[in-house]
Each structure stands twice: as C-alpha cells, then as structure tokens.
Amino acid sequence: MTERTIRLTLKIWRQKSAAEKGRLETYHADNISSDMSFLEMIDVVNEQLALDDREPIAFDHDCREGICGMCGAVVNGRPHGPEKGTTLCQLHMRHFNNGDTIVIEPWRSRAFPIIKDLVVNRGALDTLIQSGGYISVNTGAAQEANTTLIPQEKSEAAMDAATCIGCGACVAACPNASAMLFVGAKVSHLGLLPQGRPEAARRALRMVRQMDQLGFGNCSNERECEAECPKEISITNIARLNREFLKAGFFSSSS
Ligand code: SF4
Ligand code: FES
C-alpha cells in the first residue's frame, strides 16, 4: 500500500493525577504518515506539544513490537483499537482515513486506577501472578527437555496460553472488568504442563480469590475479552480455569 499523509482530530483523555478529574481535550495532528504506528502518531503530537511548551500526553510503551504488554489505550471504544489481534504499538495509521476523529482513553477499571492521562496502574495483574501464577517445584539443575514427554496438543495449548502479554485489554473490554481471561491464560499455560500440574487446582483457587479481592468483576460470558485480546487468547482457557477452580473447591471441602 502506498504511503499517504492524513490529518486527524484527536480527542484525548487528559488527567493530571489520580486525585484530579480528567477530561477529553481536542488536538489536531497534521501530516501523519500512513506508515506510522499509532504510538508514533502520539509521539508527533507530543513533539508539537513540547515545542509549544505544553505538557505532553503520558502513555505507556516499551518494546513497540507487540511483546511486552505495556502499551494500551481505548481507541474509539475498543481496547488497542480496531484491528483484530493487534496491540496499540503495532496498529498502523493506514487503518485510519484523512479527516477522521479518534477518541483515545485509558483502560477503565476499578482495579486499574489512572496514574496520568492514558497511563493506568496495572499492578493488580502482578498481584494476581504473585498469588499463584508460578510453579514452585524445585528441580535442581535444568533437565534435558526431552526427558519429560508432553502430548503435542497439550504443549500447543500451553504455548498458545503463554502468549498472553499481560496488557489488561481483556479487563478493559469486559463490561464487568473481569480478569478471567488473563487468569485463565496463566492457569492454562502453567497447569497444562507436568511441571505445573501438582499445584494446578490450588493455583486456580488462589488466583480467583485474589481476583475478587482486587476488585475485578465476575465473568458473565460476554466474550468481549476474547474479541479484543491482541494475542487472541481463547475463552476455552476460562472454561479450564473454572474446571480447576471447581476441583480445588471439591478437594478443599472434602479434606
Ligand atoms: S488475555 Fe489477552 S487481553 Fe488479557 S492480558 Fe493477556 S494478552 Fe492482554
Ligand atoms: S509497547 Fe510492548 S506490546 Fe506494545
């Protein structure tokens, strides 16, 4: 596709701190190349704001390659924007038209308080991981990988779940702000492999309890999380989480 330049009207959420009220402010972005990424487009806006001695827009990013999970904003009502299976840093401006108005807002969830502008505190996802998203088996030196045989369908499902980058878009997309897709992905990627099996049920129980304490909502099968996940994590992982959780509840009540 040949490069073109476009002019955009941006309505961007500005909020100085968690304690202050925020509002949408309007900016104009001229000469935006269709080859730029969405974050590069915000860089251009920020350069102009800095030249005008105005406060640049705060937004999260790191790798800009779709792997770290740091970026994320709601673009025209959709977490990570309109392209399926795409993080905000990998979204390109060729998907927008000259004259478009784009509304850019932070993730909205009680569990993700706004720090500034488009930056939210996603520490709740780290707390969830600390509650069970690990394996505690002590194996000593690393074993020869091929000595533990794993059926291919299980390793494929575990690796698919392991592509979750912890961006939080699933929470932002869910009308209940549930983190079930994120937790389901962790419970699958660890619990499907033999090394993570011994504590699979306990892991599910602890992570679900922690999720409730952190203020995430419940899953009501809306499937918005699956639709907006940039890594296309399947909701079958939520079904697996539910099965592990039920098993954990059975064992804890019968012991
Ligand atoms: S499940 Fe998808 S949307 Fe949720 S944190 Fe992982 S990668 Fe992001
Ligand atoms: S900046 Fe790393 S995934 Fe977007």
Which ligand is in closest contact with the Cα of 186? Answer: 1
Looking at residue 252, its pLDDT comes to 63
In the chain, where are the structural domains located?
5-116, 122-134+150-254
DSSP 112: S
* Burial grade of 94 (CB within 10 A; 0-12, 13-18, 19 or more): middle
Pocket test for ligand 1, best of 189, 190, 231 (most atoms within 8 A of CB): 231
pLDDT band at residue 1 using 50, 70 and 90 as cut-offs:
low
Does the C-beta of 210 come closer than 6 Å to ligand 2? no
122-134+150-254 and 5-116 share a CATH fold = no
- Of all residues in the chain, the percent with pLDDT exceeding 90 is 86
CA separation for the pair 198, 135 (Å, rounded): 9
Does the C-beta of 70 come closer than 6 Å to ligand 2? yes
Q: 89-93, 111-115, 141-145, 216-220: which has the minimum mean pLDDT?
A: 141-145
Looking at residue 255, its pLDDT comes to 44
H/E stretch holding 5 reads: strand 5-14
Cα angle: 149, vertex 154, 159; to 5 degrees = 105
First to last CA, the chain: 63
Pocket test for ligand 2, best of 62, 118, 122, 229 (most atoms within 8 A of CB): 62
CA separation for the pair 103, 109 (Å, rounded): 18
Does the C-beta of 169 come closer than 6 Å to ligand 1? yes
Mean pLDDT of the chain: 94
Say how many Å lie between the CA of residue 24 and the centre of ligand 1: 26
Cα angle: 235, vertex 236, 238; to 5 degrees = 65
Query: For residue 10, what are the β-bridge partners?
Result: 27, 102
pLDDT tops 90 at residue 69: yes
Q: Are 186 and 211 in contact (CB under 8 A)?
A: no
Q: 37-46, 96-105, 240-249: which has the minimum mean pLDDT?
A: 240-249
Nearest protein Cα to ligand 1, atom 2: 229
pLDDT band at residue 123 using 50, 70 and 90 as cut-offs:
very high
User: Which atom of ligand 1 lies nearest, measured to the CA of 181?
Assistant: 1
CATH class of 122-134+150-254: mainly alpha
User: Which atom of ligand 1 lies nearest, measured to the CA of 166?
Assistant: 5
pTM of the full structure: 0.94
Query: For residue 172, what are the β-bridge partners?
Result: none
pLDDT band at residue 44 using 50, 70 and 90 as cut-offs:
very high
pLDDT tops 50 at residue 77: yes
Looking at residue 251, its pLDDT comes to 61
Looking at residue 58, its pLDDT comes to 98
Q: 17-31, 171-185, 189-203: which has the minimum mean pLDDT?
A: 189-203
Pocket test for ligand 1, best of 159, 183, 188, 229 (most atoms within 8 A of CB): 229
**pLDDT, mean of residues 184-190:** 96
Cβ-based neighbours of 248, under 8 Å, separated by 6 or more: 201, 202, 204, 205
CA separation for the pair 173, 168 (Å, rounded): 9
Looking at residue 253, its pLDDT comes to 56
Q: Are 76 and 88 in contact (CB under 8 A)?
A: no
Longest Cα pair distance anywhere in the chain, in angstroms?
67
CA separation for the pair 154, 148 (Å, rounded): 13
Distances from the Cα of 110 to the Cα of 216, 218, 223, angstroms: 7, 13, 20
**pLDDT, mean of residues 191-199:** 91
> How are beta strands 5-14 and 101-105 bridged, if at all?
parallel
Say how many Å lie between the CA of residue 248 and the centre of ligand 2: 35
Which CATH number is correct for 5-116, 3.30.1120.80, 3.40.50.300, 1.10.1750.10, 3.10.20.30? 3.10.20.30
Distances from the Cα of 106 to the Cα of 60, 87, 163, 171, angstroms: 10, 14, 23, 12
Cα angle: 111, vertex 61, 109; to 5 degrees = 15
pLDDT band at residue 224 using 50, 70 and 90 as cut-offs:
very high
Does the C-beta of 173 come closer than 6 Å to ligand 1? no
Does the C-beta of 186 come closer than 6 Å to ligand 1? no
pLDDT tops 50 at residue 11: yes
